[in-house]
Amino acid sequence: MENIPVHILTGFLGAGKTTAIIRLLNLKPANENWAIVINEFGKISIDGQTLTEKSAAGSVYEITGGCICCSAKVYFAENLEKIVRQKQFDRIIIEPSGLGGIDHITELVKRNAELQLMPVICTVDISMTKLPRLKMVPIYQSQILNADLILFSKTDLVEEAELKKLTDQFSLDFPGKKYVEQLRIDNIFIQSFNIQLPDQDLHFSNLHPVKSDKKNNYQEILITGIKTINPDILTSLLKKEPSIVRAKGYIYTGNEWLFMNYTLTGISAECCSQRSESELVIIFDSTYVFDKQLFISQIEKN
């Protein structure tokens, strides 16, 4: 029996990892069975729910309540071993938390004789590359430097001239990194999933990953129990709160259910199926002053 290919799709909060996986699942050969491992920083797996709902092309395993590179690494190891023992999967895709690294994950995969580590892909929101605040985050830099291939997301939202300017600057900030655009994800499936790295000389081992002993400054709150939420008010509150770096979840507006998705570069809302209650996950930078109770009370006011 051949080794099971393992693909790690890393990237910072809101970079588009789950969206990329959904697109890859739509390209899955009919004769392959995939296991999808989703790791959420908090206790609620919004991404896992999204993947399960939007595509039945793979079996989704959710690991919540911490990053699989540190606090949840034992649980991750147990789940990975369980997947291997089942002997029913042709491929494994791992989506680490947007606040996690990949060192422990790659080491664990390499130690298993039945697994084969494929080129690591890092999803990068092209508009985020121009944010000075994000460029200073060690985990953001480390995710990029430890990847074999960069997948730029949301390039269709940027004008061609601006796109060239941003990619040129990215090449200066991270010399030697090979990148492609999300719109060419079919090429990634062909190149990366078949282990055809464009140039082995561009491998991350020739670079110097950023390391930091600083404590993770990000915290999460889960907002539930609010009967109705005004999406306009919520959008306004998210945009004006500097400490919030990510928010996502399902809300009931009184007329319909929406999936809200906020990142540092924008916010979107789309209709979704009915839920038992609204669930909104917010990740914020604790180095800023953030009055959680005030934020929640403003949402409740509608």
pLDDT tens for each residue of the chain, 302 residues long: 578 999 999 999 888 888 888 878 877 778 888 888 887 765 555 655 566 555 555 587 766 555 555 555 676 788 888 888 888 888 899 988 888 778 888 888 888 899 999 888 899 999 999 988 887 888 888 899 889 888 888 888 889 899 999 999 999 999 888 877 765 655 655 555 553 433 433 333 223 333 333 446 888 888 888 889 999 999 999 999 989 989 988 999 999 999 999 998 889 898 988 888 888 889 888 888 888 889 889 988 76
Give the model's pLDDT for residue 166. 92
Please count the structural domains in the chain.
2
102 and 158 inside one domain: yes
Give the model's pLDDT for residue 209. 33
For 215, which DSSP code? P
Residue 94, classified by CB atoms within 10 Å of its CB into exposed (0-12), middle (13-18) or buried (19+), is buried
84 and 192 inside one domain: yes
Residue 287, classified by CB atoms within 10 Å of its CB into exposed (0-12), middle (13-18) or buried (19+), is exposed
In a domain, 150, yes or no: yes
53 and 152 inside one domain: yes
Pair type for strands 121-125 and 4-11: parallel
Last residue of a domain, one of 204, 235, 269: 204
Q: What is the dihedral of CA 127, 164, 99, 247, to 10 degrees?
A: 20
In a domain, 188, yes or no: yes
Give the model's pLDDT for residue 52. 58
170 and 228 inside one domain: no
261 and 137 inside one domain: no
Domain CATH code at residue 28: 3.40.50.300
Please give the helix or strand (H or E) that residue 92 lies within, else none.
strand 91-95
Q: Look at the alpha carbons of 223, 76, 143, 193 in this order and tell me if their dihedral is positive or negative.
A: negative
In a domain, 212, yes or no: no
- The DSSP bridge partners found for residue 11 are 123
Last residue of a domain, one of 179, 204, 229: 204
- In angstroms, what CA-CA distances link 98 with 47, 62, 143, 211, 270? 11, 14, 9, 16, 22
In a domain, 209, yes or no: no
* 63 and 47 Cβ atoms separated by less than 8 Å: no
Q: What are phi and psi of 59, to 5 degrees?
A: -95, 125
In a domain, 147, yes or no: yes
pTM: 0.77
In a domain, 214, yes or no: no
What is the rounded distance in angstroms from the CA atom of residue 271 to the CA atom of residue 252? 10
41 and 142 inside one domain: yes
What is the rounded distance in angstroms from the CA atom of residue 63 to the CA atom of residue 36? 11
Give the model's pLDDT for residue 212. 37
Q: What is the largest CA-CA distance in the chain?
A: 59
Structure tokens at 69: 């590179």
In a domain, 274, yes or no: yes
Residue identified by tokens 């959420």 is 40
266 and 119 inside one domain: no
183 and 113 inside one domain: yes
Q: What is the dihedral of CA 154, 158, 12, 268, to 10 degrees?
A: -60
22 and 167 inside one domain: yes
Range of the domain at 36: 4-204
In a domain, 211, yes or no: no
250 and 113 inside one domain: no
Structure tokens at 223: 């907002």
